[in-house]
Structure 1
Amino acid sequence: MLRLTLLASILLTLAGCTYTAKITDGSTAVDRKQYDVAIPMLEREYKRAKSRGQQGDIALNLAVSYRETGRDAEAEAWFQTAYDNGAGPDALRERAAALKRLERYEEAIQVYTDLGFEIGSRYEFRRDIAGAELAMRQKARLEAMEVKEFDVSPVAFNSAGADYAAVAYGDELIFTSDRSSATGDETYKWTGRNFSDLFRVDPRAASVEGFNAGLNTADNEGTVSFSADGNTVYFTRCSPPAKRSDAYCGLYRSERVGEGWAPAEKLPFVTPEANYMHPALSADGKTLIFSANLPDGWGGYDLYSVTLGADGKWSEPDLMNRAINTEGNEQFPTLDGDTLYFSSDGLEGLGGLDIFRTWPLGDGRYNAPKNLRMPINSGADDFAYTILRRNGTGVGSTSTGYFSSARPGGAGGDDIYAYTRTVLPPPPPDTTPIAYRNVLDVTVVEKIYEDPTNPASRVLGLRPVPNASVIAQVGEQSRTVTTNEEGQLSLVLVDDQRYEFRAERPEYLAAEGRFSSRNLPRDPEAPEQRYELELEIEKIFRNREIVLENIYYDLDESFIREDAKPTLNELTDLLTRNPDIRIELGSHTDCRATDAYNDRLSQARAKSAVDYLVAQGISPDRLTAKGYGESQPVAECICQRCTEEEHQRNRRTTFRILN
């Protein structure tokens, strides 16, 4: 399950408390992402739990731990147990996702349908249901085929660990694995296995050994790409910077020296505090495509490209177009000539990551990505598709290669599969004239709160907002459209335009979004392409406290730390989008220290937050600073008996809309 992605949270806490601090309970182990450590603790705690609420919380943590260690059958059962014990709709949502990964599609559809009724929004699960229905149709189609396009089988060198991303290197394969022979003595407590390394294998003999002792370290290495002559390797390494506990994944390069490899160097365009992974080098060595979660992306992980100039320097990363990247995750690119294979959970698929294929059409356009369908794709994550060799051309010719999958029935969490593809006769040609159309469906949505009167209550999902005003701006032109009863409006897109949207409704905070129609595909097999954009407006709750997450202060200090600035920047954006609102910024302490001291400290902290917003251009007339000291705890406990978690809940920075 590692795959150098860790989609739930790619920030690996590799040092400090992650390894050495003593873990005494399952909840702490989950919080520190030590899922393998958490499982036996949580199972014991569940048996000792004295209330239904405790059982629900423990079962939910246990289900998450099984999910993150790749054991979906156990996760599915525990998510149901968590829901039965009051853990709420999120547990049922996760159960449905696990059912999809297990390819129990009919059960998944029923759970998603029930969830829609429970939270009051069919909209929330429409894609999940559509994906499950698509999978059922593909399964039926595959079973009905007399001649199969793909023959798929697991390779002999899979292990009980995670094995994935095999690429050709001469007569050998180089792949990523966290099997027991990986470098280092530490156990990766997320999985209970080793940190991942690069391995080499002769697939005919299935004898596996480490790729290179100089490139494999005690950190996580994987997902390689070689130059055409085999003398340059690009790969991913996740390791903590000096004096830091956060590990970010970066792209590294090494040159072959004799029978070995030179020390790896990080590529110059890789920046701190972002993740760069899964390099794919073009045959001429001049283009590198990779996956990253950079701020300018469309959401999650996106594919970027860089080019090598005549001066030997790489360009800055260029975000690949909207035909490929989605609000989900795009990862594991590989290149076969100019054909790009990649995995996505944002395009319509069968569950988890699916493998797609696309190719350039000229003028920067790419063909609409094609889902490789079953049996290459499954309900689980499928990724890292490579072509090894071809035999012949035209109908009846074959190609062989490898891909990776977390599908049920494998030897470990992820496994490598070999495939043979036979080119089948094409369907009869369609002589209908082609009219290309790109359509954007813009949906205005709002959060569904467990308590409709309290924005601090649990968010159950999203629902469409009818009769909202959407201002669409294209260049100098703008027009205002009202959403229908489904909260939606549809626009036929003009090529190569940047669209800016603003959604408004009385008693709601406005939201903004963007969409680029640059280089959208023209696919004769699917001449109409539809895209989606959500604009999430938030209902105004006057004088209701909203906690600002991730704002922390040093002990006895009030200055704004660097890690608090992103949250305050988001608040700046909200105030800029909504120039007519006034807010109060509040600061709260825990109950330790004297009342007078806490009052002074909290007032100083609230004023620091206000000063920061003013420095960002917000008028001071719209801001009020209020220090509450310890007077308004949210965790009600006797001070001497409060847990550290309860103290942390009480130490908070909030804002409330005054008018």
Structure 2
Amino acid sequence: MLRACLAVFVLLLLAGCTYTAKITDGATAVDRKQYEVAIPMLEREYKRAKSRGQQGEIANNLAISLRETGRDEQAVEWFQTAYDNGVGPDALREKAAALKRLERYEDAIQTYTDLGFEIGSRYEFRKDIAGAELAMKLKERQAQQDRQEYEVNPVAFNSPQADYAAVPFNDALVFTSDRGAATGDQTYNWTGRSFSDLFSVDPTASDVTGFTATLNTEDNEGTPSFSADGNTMIFTRCSPPAKRTDAYCGLYVSERVGDGWGQAEKLPFVTADANYMHPALSPDGSTLIFSANLVEGWGGYDLYRVTKGADGAWGTPDLMNRAINTAGNEQFPTLDGDTLYFSSDGLEGLGGLDIFRTWPLEDGRYNAPKNLRLPINSGADDFAYTIVRRDGTGIGSTTTGYFSSSRPGGAGSDDIYAYTKTQLPPPPPDTTPIAYRNVLDVTVVEKIREDPTNPSSRVLGVRPVPNATVIAQVGDQSRTVTTDEEGQLSLVLVDDQRYEFRAERPDYLAAEGRFSSRNLPRDPDAPEQRYELELEIEKIFRNEEIVLENIYYDYDESFIREDAQPTLNELSELLSRNPDITIELGSHTDCRGRDAYNETLSQARAQAAVDYLVQAGIEAGRLSARGYGESQPVAECICERCTEEEHQRNRRTTFRILE
């Protein structure tokens, strides 16, 4: 459920994707993340649309805008309209996700099933269906229980805007909101509301005030964490780097000064090319857990842990292990002693982000995360679980606190909920001896393309590849196995081992993956834990042009810019994994400029890409460079009438695998 600009809509900790140009149509408003602005425009444009194709495109943009502004009931209908007007399976996928967030689980399962038939792979939606089936079972089981463990109610100080991530501070709560009282006059056009700020409230009186003018700015602030003595606060602030239209979030620290707070400083390990957010300080202030989307992560947003040295300086963050992090998003950590609560959409859940609980065992590894289930979790996003008070011990004792959710029926897009948890009698003990097993399911998959003959056509999903060869390297030992008809092989893992895999099949590019069994949990309640690893192999399209994304050159220059290097590094890795292929690097210009000049410039650019790969260790004999100038445009238009977008499409770097 990644969204543009950052990651998840529930964050709303986004720097303003601001533009000075006037928005004149709905598609442009959506492209610039101004969803609230887009909705009325698109509603008018849909009524004026003259073709089925136009209606489909407009309906899809309208559904996206409704989704991004928290109106899933309406989004469901518009995604269906988009699908009916030829947008394709992506609209059906979005409809199913919205149905799940609305807890219309049977409808969601049916839609996911239909979608699997349409794209030719039920595998793509297996987790979505399993989560919906689990939610239905839990709801049925909850209805049969005489006593409920949790009592959940929305708080009185919720607003029609987004309110979330309440944490205790002294006798008050500090939370994040984009309500109208937030600092600054500018409207955040994503939501049509203000930018987010920190607010304080006495929960018994619901009297909301701004937390501190020192830290609330015209940027987005939120998700604070306080040290046990109340003198240190770490929080998230999102502000756009100069001359950029994207936004990055960082972690900032402020120290108590009298009754107020000092100026915030960015933590030293925060870099400028990733998002850091959702800090959780340990009670002694020496450990910080946070969420970030760094390159070395397992996918999406992951949880990291960093400790403070004896000199008071923060060290280098460590990626937390696969017991916690997944290929999805792990966010909003909070700590209760050494117990870690966090939200994930990558672990098995009821829909969107679900709240999980884990804790370190005696051997240092973390226990398998436990889903808090209904009524804490729902089909929507549930996050930012915090404990405020405990009363009593043993059976009948209670714990009270807060969490946040975007579930239907609240006052706004995200709301804060108070809970009371009552300790119920435990079930009878199970005396069966425990046999622990960790199992890794490795699945070889390939992309499903809208046009199976075109490597540049739209990807609809992935499907398993049967009878693929997988070479598994475990320590110094290697063995070769063949996947079954489901494209899968399963391994019982040995503790503290590094596993490396290579998937091969004739006429496909090989893929590689890794998995570490270090510190995997041992949970008496779930002694068998299963993990998944996908190896995606690519079908070889010989002599077919494949565009390399994000390869740009400065005007009248051919050197490889820094922002182009990641794409070429990926190509270098692909070539290293597949030493038997040779490729041609091609460079194309747009139609502006003289033919001879464009040919010379494009040849120099193609050669620069080849030289970069040679420096990366690829044999020169496997590479050739060819500049095509303006001779092979992909956007057919009269040069003087081409839009800048059409010029950009023609101005591309490509490669093709040669015979």
Deviations for 1:268-324, whole angstroms, at most 9, x for unmatched residues?
111110111100011111111100111211111111111111111111001111110
Cα distance, 1:2 vs structure 2 = 9.7
- Contact in 2 for aligned 1:13/1:32 (Cα 8 Å): no
Match of 1:7 in 2: 8
Match of 2:602 in 1: 602
Distance 2:640 2:650 in 1: 14
Deviations for 1:23-66, whole angstroms, at most 9, x for unmatched residues?
22222221121111221222222222221111111111111111
Match of 1:382 in 2: 382
Distance 1:654 1:123 in 2: 31
Q: Does 1:652 align with 2:652?
A: yes
Distance 1:260 1:9 in 2: 29
Match of 1:64 in 2: 64
- Contact in 2 for aligned 1:4/1:222 (Cα 8 Å): no
- Contact in 2 for aligned 1:12/1:248 (Cα 8 Å): no
Cα distance, 1:9 vs structure 2 = 12
Deviations for 1:373-419, whole angstroms, at most 9, x for unmatched residues?
01100000000000110111111111110000000011111000000
RMSD: 1.7
> Aligned to 2:191, what secondary structure does the other structure show?
coil
Cα distance, 1:589 vs structure 2 = 1.6
Cα distance, 1:639 vs structure 2 = 2.2
Deviations for 1:544-578, whole angstroms, at most 9, x for unmatched residues?
11111111122222221111111111111111111
Distance 1:245 1:44 in 2: 28
Cα distance, 1:13 vs structure 2 = 8.5
Q: Does 1:171 align with 2:174?
A: no
Match of 2:570 in 1: 570
Match of 1:229 in 2: 229
**Range with greater deviation from structure 2 (353-362 or 621-630):** 621-630
> Aligned to 1:603, what secondary structure does the other structure show?
helix
- Contact in 2 for aligned 1:13/1:246 (Cα 8 Å): no
> Aligned to 2:506, what secondary structure does the other structure show?
coil
Cα distance, 1:428 vs structure 2 = 0.8
Match of 1:218 in 2: 218
Q: Map 1:470-481; keep pairs closer than 5 Å.
A: 470-481=470-481
Q: Does 1:95 align with 2:77?
A: no
Cα distance, 1:496 vs structure 2 = 0.7
Q: Map 1:338-357; keep pairs closer than 5 Å.
A: 338-357=338-357
Q: Does 1:555 align with 2:535?
A: no
Distance 1:12 1:283 in 2: 25
The structure-2 alpha-carbon separation of the partners of 1:394 and 1:149, relative to structure 1 and needing over 3 Å to count, comes to same
Distance 1:244 1:115 in 2: 38
Instruction: In structure 1, give the amino acid aligned to 2:200.
Output: R
- Contact in 2 for aligned 1:11/1:248 (Cα 8 Å): no
Distance 2:379 2:511 in 1: 34
Q: Does 1:508 align with 2:508?
A: yes
The structure-2 alpha-carbon separation of the partners of 1:20 and 1:14, relative to structure 1 and needing over 3 Å to count, comes to farther
Distance 1:295 1:286 in 2: 25
Cα distance, 1:173 vs structure 2 = 0.1
Match of 2:185 in 1: 185
Distance 1:484 1:574 in 2: 25
Q: Map 1:119-518; keep pairs closer than 5 Å.
A: 119-518=119-518
Instruction: In structure 1, give the amino acid aligned to 2:499.
Output: Y
Instruction: In structure 2, give the amino acid aligned to 1:384.
Output: A
Match of 2:591 in 1: 591
Deviations for 1:141-186, whole angstroms, at most 9, x for unmatched residues?
1111111111101001001111000000111000000000000111
- Contact in 1 for aligned 2:177/2:196 (Cα 8 Å): yes
Cα distance, 1:640 vs structure 2 = 2.5
Distance 1:456 1:29 in 2: 27
Instruction: In structure 2, give the amino acid aligned to 1:522.
Output: R
**Range with greater deviation from structure 2 (612-621 or 634-643):** 634-643
Distance 1:19 1:642 in 2: 23
Instruction: In structure 2, give the amino acid aligned to 1:86.
Output: G
Cα distance, 1:8 vs structure 2 = 7.3
> Aligned to 2:19, what secondary structure does the other structure show?
helix
- Contact in 2 for aligned 1:202/1:208 (Cα 8 Å): yes
Distance 1:54 1:644 in 2: 22
Distance 2:557 2:615 in 1: 20
Distance 1:114 1:247 in 2: 37
Deviations for 1:419-454, whole angstroms, at most 9, x for unmatched residues?
011111111111100000000000000001111111
The structure-2 alpha-carbon separation of the partners of 1:349 and 1:4, relative to structure 1 and needing over 3 Å to count, comes to farther
- Contact in 2 for aligned 1:12/1:246 (Cα 8 Å): no
> Aligned to 1:604, what secondary structure does the other structure show?
helix
Deviations for 1:437-483, whole angstroms, at most 9, x for unmatched residues?
00000000000111111111111110000111111111111111110
Cα distance, 1:538 vs structure 2 = 0.2
TM-score (normalised: structure 2): 0.98
Instruction: In structure 2, give the amino acid aligned to 1:6.
Output: A
- Structure 2 gap ranges (5+): none
Distance 2:245 2:81 in 1: 35
- Contact in 2 for aligned 1:442/1:488 (Cα 8 Å): yes
Match of 2:638 in 1: 638
Deviations for 1:112-160, whole angstroms, at most 9, x for unmatched residues?
0011111111111100000000010111111111111111010010011
- Structure 1 gap ranges (5+): none
Instruction: In structure 2, give the amino acid aligned to 1:555.
Output: Y
**Range with greater deviation from structure 2 (546-555 or 640-649):** 640-649
- Contact in 2 for aligned 1:548/1:567 (Cα 8 Å): yes
Match of 1:45 in 2: 45
Instruction: In structure 2, give the amino acid aligned to 1:118.
Output: E
**Range with greater deviation from structure 2 (1-10 or 580-589):** 1-10
The structure-2 alpha-carbon separation of the partners of 1:8 and 1:177, relative to structure 1 and needing over 3 Å to count, comes to closer
> Aligned to 2:587, what secondary structure does the other structure show?
strand
Count of matched residue pairs: 658
> Aligned to 2:361, what secondary structure does the other structure show?
strand
- Contact in 1 for aligned 2:10/2:406 (Cα 8 Å): no
- Provide the identity percentage: 82
Distance 2:217 2:446 in 1: 47
Distance 2:540 2:127 in 1: 28
Distance 1:67 1:597 in 2: 47
Distance 2:449 2:254 in 1: 51
The structure-2 alpha-carbon separation of the partners of 1:353 and 1:11, relative to structure 1 and needing over 3 Å to count, comes to closer
The structure-2 alpha-carbon separation of the partners of 1:11 and 1:144, relative to structure 1 and needing over 3 Å to count, comes to closer
Instruction: In structure 2, give the amino acid aligned to 1:386.
Output: T
- Contact in 1 for aligned 2:447/2:459 (Cα 8 Å): yes
